[in-house]
Amino acid sequence: MSQKVTSGLTHECGVFGAIGTEFWPSDVDISQIILIGLEALQHRGQESSGIVTTNGTNFNIQKGMGLVRNIFNNENMKKLTGSMGIGHTRYSTSAASEQVNCQPFFVHSIHGSLAVAHNGELVNKNGLRKMVLGRGVGLSTHSDSELITQALCLNPPEGEINGPNWPARIKHLMQLSPLSYSLVVMLKDRIYAVRDPYGNRPLCLGKILPLDRINGFSNNCPVEGWAVASESCAFLTHIKYVREVLPGEIIEMTKGGIRTIDVIDRPEGKSPAFCIFEYVYFARPNSVFEGQEVYSVRAQCGIQLAIEKPVSADIVGSVPESGNAAAHGFAKQSNIPFGELLTKNTYVGRSFIQPTNRLRQRNVSLKFSPIGVNVAGKRVILIDDSIVRGNTIGPIIKLLRNAGAIEVHIRVASPPLQYPCYMGINIPTKEELIANSLDLMDLASHIGADSLEYLSVEGLVKAVQRNAKSENNKIGHCTACLTGNYPGGVPCEDEW
């Protein structure tokens, strides 16, 4: 089958939802909490953001293109009233970088108004799209997030779900499309937090605490509200992390509290498949997945990389910032001093999620500058978290050479990416992945390195699972972009 993505799609994003309890202060709008959460999730998407709130009667919507701080100001935040809301920050392929695709999506249905924010990508989007269109529903975008919203509003053809039975509708959607998504679904009086049965995309739960009780928190402390987010880094000092949403879990959040409505099982014989690339690149280092901080996993990847692929050098450094932890681990294991080789301009966006190769390459020269005292006359080991298209590592090596490095050895704290992702990461074609076109020696020569080595798949899984825990003691990871083993199988052409 073709390996090419054919339409504009929703890819790796950040979702956030929050609802106040009876203790929520009447003079505070929940949108302030959501705004802080979206800013903490900005690394997951820089193209557009949106917030929808409600006071139980009216829905208030603000969406736009660009960074969170540029979309929301004092004037439009005053319009986002209410003690319940959801938010979204997004990146996509260039074809879908348009105002019409901004989330959350909001619709009026016969059973009430509905707002949906989505992280992930449906592996059977075309089949679901044909079903929705075949039921007489028009779609205004190619976004599978809009598709999810409309599918939730449809009555199943069997007629077993009538009326506003939203848990049944969500369950039916999950049975129609088992991956990949984390969802926040908001009605006028409640929010549903939903994670696909494979747990492919992250989602976690937190308690909103009174500001004057944060340091003195106890189990008897009143809870002002509940929050759900793609990553725990979105829970700052005002929110206490509780746990991850389980794979397949549907959590109902109301003014009266939270409860698990259902946990939808995976197909028989299938294991959890949390995206291992969250650990490698996407997540912030202080986020917690499976009972462990991302930073500690990345450091363990560096340790394992030094065991598997040692090399003699004078200094170990990293491509900041997602390579930092692995570089510290590599330096510790190899007994080679760690030092900063590059300084980063933090006001330049992430090169991986820029929509074109030209923009990615342009960003490198704007983003990094070498630290001469640590580079000149040295044999350096540069740790990178991953190499995808190979557009950025070559210019970085050139920067180090120009600063006086006598040797540059590249060590990559993940295996080579060789297969496209159908579940939400922007790795659309095998042809774009440089590991498929050049072997190690040719790739090293192509980027100007003295040597290049990757962490093995087994080493990555070992590092990730060493201290992993889950609420139901079930651990499993999707390595499809590394191995070609897709948790739900490769999508059929008519589904994709």
User: Catalytic positions, please?
Assistant: 13
494 annotated as ligand-binding: no
N-terminal to C-terminal alpha carbon distance within the chain: 10
450 annotated as ligand-binding: no
153 annotated as ligand-binding: no
Number of helices (H) and strands (E), helices first, in the chain? 15, 23
Integer Cα distance of 372 and 348 in angstroms:
21
Kindly list the distances between the CA atom of residue 193 and the CA atoms of 139, 166, 226, 403, in Å, as whole numbers in the listed order. Answer: 24, 12, 11, 50
Contact 298, 453 (CB under 8 A): no
478 annotated as ligand-binding: yes
Integer Cα distance of 404 and 398 in angstroms:
10
| Among the listed residues 296, 285, 293, 363, the one whose alpha carbon sits nearest the alpha carbon of residue 321 | 285
492 annotated as ligand-binding: no
Q: 114 phi and psi, to 5 degrees?
A: -145, 135
196 annotated as ligand-binding: no
Contact 115, 59 (CB under 8 A): yes
Contact 71, 40 (CB under 8 A): no
Give me 173's structure tokens: 């959607």
* Type and span of the H or E element at 445: helix 440-447
| Among the listed residues 389, 484, 357, the one whose alpha carbon sits nearest the alpha carbon of residue 3 | 484
Quote the DSSP letter at residue 280: I
Integer Cα distance of 249 and 75 in angstroms:
37
Q: How many of the other CB atoms lie within 10 Å of CB of 76?
A: 15
421 annotated as ligand-binding: yes
Integer Cα distance of 476 and 465 in angstroms:
8
| Among the listed residues 179, 143, 161, the one whose alpha carbon sits nearest the alpha carbon of residue 152 | 161
Give me 313's structure tokens: 């050098």
Integer Cα distance of 250 and 194 in angstroms:
5
Residues comprising the binding site for [4Fe-4S] cluster? 275, 421, 478, 481
Residues comprising the binding site for Mg(2+)? 322, 384-385
Residues comprising the binding site? 275, 322, 384-385, 421, 478, 481
